[in-house]
Chain A
Amino acid sequence: MRLSDGLKELDSIYAPMPARIAAVRKITEMENLYTIELPHKYRIRHRPGQFVQLSILGVGEAPISISSSPSRSDSAFELCVRRAGDLTSALHRMKRGDLVGIRGPFGRGFPVDNFQGKDILFVAGGLGLAPLRSLINQILDLRGNYGRVIILYGARSPKAMLFQGELIEWAARADVELHLTVDNPDGEWANSVGVITTLFKEVDIFPRNTAAVVVGPPIMYKFVIQELLNIDIPKGNIWLSFERRMKCGVGKCGHCQMNHLYTCQAGPTYSYAEIEGLPEALG
């Protein structure tokens, strides 16, 4: 078959579905936002928190979490990709119209249904906002079904902040509480300075009715979890997402295994209650 032929019955779990880069938007110095279109208007049908295996022929595959919400992924979905390794560097050299391959979506994603009626506390560090944005927008698109929406977001510097247009929109909404912090402010920065946990002082949280969803670098988790436990959020209502280097995505290759859990299948999203005793999850 030709990769450009579009969807054909694929006879291997390793065969990527051909996909087209419909748009590329540079959103920071290191991150681009890619709009990915599947052939024949095929919908990706994902849940927030799920990931795809993004494939470039001759380079390889890497797991990338889906950054658009299901509510806004009818004709295409979005991947926010930092230029870091071989594959992501190759992707950053690609342009609109180029072909990539997609397998997935994989993983179970966040339990959106369990969040209904609850206040949702989002805590994002750096690139962690990329997967969280999928859940945030999903919830904002059915806003009445949820309680307060509180977003705490920390980045290295104001320029490193992702989705700045959306941050402005969220800040303007009366039904979203957005709190930002950076490590290195520039002259115009009017928000907080310091690590993400400094933002907890700015918000009043009612633990009985709050689910926290936390995505960020490994180092962030320990401190944020402690903060959440301090305000009595139940362990089962603290949700995290783990970045592991899945090779297969289908529970076999072993690369993403944390203790007994294959993160590609059982995760990459876990409640703290599920992984609390696993040293290979939080170290």
Chain B
Amino acid sequence: MSFKIMPKSVFPDWVEHLRENYRVVAPVQKHGHFVFDEIETCDGLCLKSPPSVLPPKKYIMPPREILLQYELDGSNFETVIESEPTVILGMHSCDIHAVKLLDHVFSMGYAEQNYQAHRDNTYLVSIECMSPCTENSFCRDMGTASANDGYDLHMIDLGDVYAVYVNTRRGGRLLEGFRRVFESSPPDEERLNQKLSEKWQKFEYKLDFDIVEMSDVLHASYNCQHWGELGDICLACGMCTQVCPTCYCFDITDEADLLMQNGTRSRQWDSCQVNTFSEVAGGHDFREKLAARQRHRFMRKGKYQMDAFGMVGCVGCGRCATSCLVHITPIKVFNELHKRRQAEQPVEEIHHALI
């Protein structure tokens, strides 16, 4: 694959160039945390940040978004589909994998126009992660420490320059009119491959089993007591799902103004961890226990999405672990389930299964 070379010294000028036509968002530090926010200069921008508090998902599936606006008497009624031309700079490959899942979900069957509009207007510029970011991340295990596609442009830090892959035609547009990038030469390719091969040694496996076994591990763990232990400590705050780049469940609610003349219908992030999520008519709740809700969350992350779409439902970013007040972490949960499964499965049975 061919790539271009952008000297680091011209990167701020490129951002300036992008800002002429796009809202540019990137990781910046706020109150000691990294968040994706609109930038005006490169001053606060940090391309080597740990995962942002909220994933960049917030730009393509906003936490709250108006879908319809109307007058309550029905005299006026319109759909609202809005988006703003946006470049997301500095996305990690885990978040790229997450967007690939979201793209699939929001385009299959009934394609959602609101998501599509954001997506069509959003350019993803990712940066190769050269070292693990936090103790909670396990992207190596989930196969998301790198991405072969899903971005428009992808940057790799080669020291004094960035290698920039142009993965899509629209990605190429981001470089149009900016003359200070160069075509790569064979020595650049050598440097790039050298850098990449050094990278993988730094990423350790944190799960005790391979991702291809994940679906089976979870299937076998459906009735594991560990869910009860998680349920006992879970606070049902829903933080794990709020910060998750692959969570997309939502609620739809109507709001009327005080005069009861105008109203809106909007979609907002919802969480399978909170106590009204699975309630049905008559107050019955088919997933009432906290243990069952945690199980549902991990089943989605490790099994349901994989079985249905062949895509990982968890990208190993570790945000849920970092945000959990009672320290429920996917690394510990998956390993614990695997350990108990191993303990329960007699050796003869394993041999028998092989014959």
Mark A residues whose CB is within 8 Å of B: 1-4, 10-15, 18, 57-61, 84-85, 99, 217-218, 243-245, 247-248, 250-255, 257-260, 265, 279-281, 283
Residues of B within 8 A of A255 (CB): 249, 251, 270, 277-278
Residues of A within 8 A of B72 (CB): 57-58
Judged by a CB distance under 8 angstroms, whether B248 is at the interface is yes
Residues of A within 8 A of B251 (CB): 247, 253, 255
State which of B77, B252, B265, B303 has its C-beta within 8 Å of the C-beta of A253.
B252
Residues of B within 8 A of A260 (CB): 299, 303-304, 307-308
B277 CB to nearest chain A CB (Å): 7
State which of B112, B284, B303 has its C-beta within 8 Å of the C-beta of A13.
B112
Interface residues on B, range: 35 or more
Residues of A within 8 A of B229 (CB): none
Mark B residues whose CB is within 8 Å of A: 67-68, 70-72, 74-79, 81, 105-106, 108-114, 248-256, 260, 263, 265, 267, 270, 272, 277-282, 284, 286-287, 292, 296, 299, 303-304, 307-308
Contact (Cβ within 8 A) A12 B286: no
- Please judge, given known A-B contacts A58-B260, A61-B252, whether A251 and B279 are in contact too, CB under 8 Å: no
Contact (Cβ within 8 A) A254 B256: no
Complex Cα gap A251–B304 (Å): 14
Contact (Cβ within 8 A) B79 A15: yes
Complex Cα gap A18–B76 (Å): 12
Contact (Cβ within 8 A) B78 A1: yes
Q: Residue on A with the closest CB to B305?
A: A260
Q: Residue on A with the closest CB to B279?
A: A245
Complex Cα gap A12–B265 (Å): 12
Residues of B within 8 A of A59 (CB): 254
Contact (Cβ within 8 A) A3 B110: no
Contact (Cβ within 8 A) A11 B287: no
Contact (Cβ within 8 A) B256 A2: no
Residues of B within 8 A of A259 (CB): 296, 299, 304
Contact (Cβ within 8 A) A2 B270: no
Residues of A within 8 A of B81 (CB): 11-12
State which of A18, A279, A281, A283 has its C-beta within 8 Å of the C-beta of B74.
A18
Complex Cα gap A1–B80 (Å): 12
Complex Cα gap A69–B144 (Å): 50
Complex Cα gap A4–B73 (Å): 10
